[in-house]
Amino acid sequence: MKKYSEMSRGELLAEKEALEGRFREICSKRFKLDMSRGKPSIAQLDLSNEMMDVLNSDSYFLDETGTDCRNYGILNGIPEAKRLMGAMSEVDPDDMIIYGNSSLNIMFDAVSHAYTHGICGCTPWGKQENVKFLCPVPGYDRHFRITEYFGIEMINIPMSETGPDMDLVEKYVNGDPSVKGIWCVPKYSNPQGYTYSEETVRRFAALTPAAEDFRIFWDNAYSIHHLYDEPEMQDFLLEILAECRAAGHPDIVYKFISTSKVSFPGSGLAALAASRRNLQDIEHHLTVQTIGHDKLNQLRHVRFFGNMANMHTHMSRHAEILRPKFELVTGTLRAELGELGIASWTEPRGGYFISLDTLDGCARKVVAKSAEAGVKLTPAGAAFPYGKDPRDRNIRIAPSYPTLPELTKAVEVLILSVKLVSIDLYLEGGQ
């Protein structure tokens, strides 16, 4: 098939008429599906149902030290939970604090603590004249909402298949003391599914920040979330904490992880790994905030999973559910849009999202058009600070929640929308 850019006006009008007929037919069926968030499907949630049977009224509630997990205490997590989460995060258990169910909550707390009380004795960000954060784009919208909430200036950093533009990162971090942090989803990034290269990780570790209170916010949300079991089909990521120590900069990173998409998003475990100096600083305010997090949930996870080998087996079951959905989306995009020259997309080997780029100026219209046919997508621009995609072209696709038949219909709607909006752009002389 010809590229749209090579079609005559008559050919474009004929193509539009045929597509609009199909679009009207779909709209008449009143299809409705919300694909705006990367939620695990019901089938994925069911994989962890037996965790609910691990503890009952007859259970043994003591951890390995003899502490009763029903009671107060143990601020940083029971030892066996720290070992399990440490193995998942590839760090020593002593370098970790176990929290509640949300790593996003930990990130918010970290920014809030820096803003009100400062990091490791530094002047609180809220008392400094200007505070900036680097934001690899497209990126995770909820990260950006945290820094926006605190009035922190956000600076776009372009992403590539190897990670953020490190020349820009080094320029800002090493040269500007008002730059206090950078958001990172280093493995199977949200939304593109990219994994930072070894060189990128080492360049992060080698940063020499102009600000003593600069921190890398390393959100390793998808550390074991592969779509394929074969090692050669899985992305590899260097462990950042070890690299920072090797480079002589142990304090510049906070590393976050959770089981939100391993067990239950509403009742998982989240953890922070960092240097001893950072952990002591964080524990100082945690002693005011809480007497301890949910130790029964920590006990449930430990007794359900037991070890990392079992967790990897569990994640293979997740992949069996997710893989056909990702392959359906990417395969259909290739078949329907591959030769038209109107879109590009990523084909990740893990994580939860696919990133679609339309022609410039089309993303918002595509999202609105899809909504007309009953498919709700993540708002265009959401993957950029302040919700503003400067080229209005990026759309995040979240294939995880729908069933395969639902996803088939949703992808058809999306593709029809991309085609129709693109044709209108050409007819208007926009390309």
In whole angstroms, give the CA distance from residue 74 to residue 45: 29
The residue ranges of DSSP E strands in 259-295, in sequence order, are 270-273
Q: Does residue 38 sit within a domain?
A: yes
Domain boundary among 306, 329, 357: 306
121-155 pLDDT, tens digit per residue, is 999 999 999 999 999 999 999 999 999 999 999 99
Structural contact between residues 87 and 94, judged by C-beta atoms closer than 8 angstroms = no
368 and 328 belong to one structural domain: yes
Residue 324 is predicted with a pLDDT of 98
Expressed as residue numbers, the domain containing 206 is: 61-306
292-314 pLDDT, tens digit per residue, is 999 999 999 999 999 999 999 99
* Residues whose CB is less than 8 angstroms from the CB of residue 213 and which lie 6 or more positions away in sequence, other chains included: 114, 118, 119, 120, 122, 123, 125, 180
CATH number at residue 358: 3.90.1150.10
CATH number at residue 92: 3.40.640.10
Domain boundary among 267, 283, 306: 306
301 and 325 belong to one structural domain: no
Mode of pairing for the β-strands spanning 253-258 and 215-219: parallel
Give the H/E segment covering residue 200.
helix 198-205
391-426 pLDDT, tens digit per residue, is 999 999 999 999 999 999 999 999 999 999 999 999
302 and 390 belong to one structural domain: no
Tokens of 176: 């500007």
In whole angstroms, give the CA distance from residue 368 to residue 157: 27
Q: Does residue 311 sit within a domain?
A: no
Tokens of 410: 């949703």
Please state the domain count of the chain: 2
273-287 pLDDT, tens digit per residue, is 999 999 999 999 999
Residue 29 has pLDDT above 70, yes or no: yes
Q: Residue with structure tokens 């320029």?
A: 171
The residue ranges of DSSP E strands in 264-385, in sequence order, are 270-273, 343-345, 354-358, 375-377
Structural contact between residues 257 and 269, judged by C-beta atoms closer than 8 angstroms = no
**What Å distances lie between residue 128 and 36, 114, 152, CA to CA?**
36, 11, 11
Q: In which band, very low, low, confident or very high, does the pLDDT at 430 lie, cut at 50, 70 and 90? A: low
136 and 281 belong to one structural domain: yes
256 and 343 belong to one structural domain: no
Structural contact between residues 134 and 155, judged by C-beta atoms closer than 8 angstroms = yes
Indicate the angle between helix axes 404-427 and 363-372, nearest 10 degrees.
130
Residue 349 is predicted with a pLDDT of 98
Domain boundary among 306, 334, 364: 306
* Residues whose CB is less than 8 angstroms from the CB of residue 18 and which lie 6 or more positions away in sequence, other chains included: none
Q: In which band, very low, low, confident or very high, does the pLDDT at 431 lie, cut at 50, 70 and 90? A: low
279 and 325 belong to one structural domain: no
In whole angstroms, give the CA distance from residue 267 to residue 363: 34
174 and 300 belong to one structural domain: yes
Residue 297 is predicted with a pLDDT of 97
DSSP string, 122-157: PPPGGGSS--EEEEEES--HHHHHHHHHTT-EEEEE
Q: Residue with structure tokens 């069933």?
A: 403
Q: In which band, very low, low, confident or very high, does the pLDDT at 16 lie, cut at 50, 70 and 90? A: very high
Strand order in the sheet with 343-345: 343-345, 354-358, 394-397
**CA proximity to 257, closest of 93, 130, 368, 58:** 93
Residue 2 has pLDDT above 90, yes or no: no
Express the helix, strand and coil content of the chain in percent, nearest 5 each.
45, 15, 40
What pTM, to 2 d.p., does this model score? Answer: 0.96
Q: In which band, very low, low, confident or very high, does the pLDDT at 64 lie, cut at 50, 70 and 90? A: very high
33 and 77 belong to one structural domain: no
296 and 335 belong to one structural domain: no
205-239 pLDDT, tens digit per residue, is 999 999 999 999 999 999 999 999 999 999 999 99
Tokens of 258: 């959770």
297 and 332 belong to one structural domain: no
Q: Does residue 159 sit within a domain?
A: yes
Structural contact between residues 146 and 101, judged by C-beta atoms closer than 8 angstroms = no
Q: Does residue 17 sit within a domain?
A: yes
The residue ranges of DSSP E strands in 276-431, in sequence order, are 343-345, 354-358, 375-377, 394-397
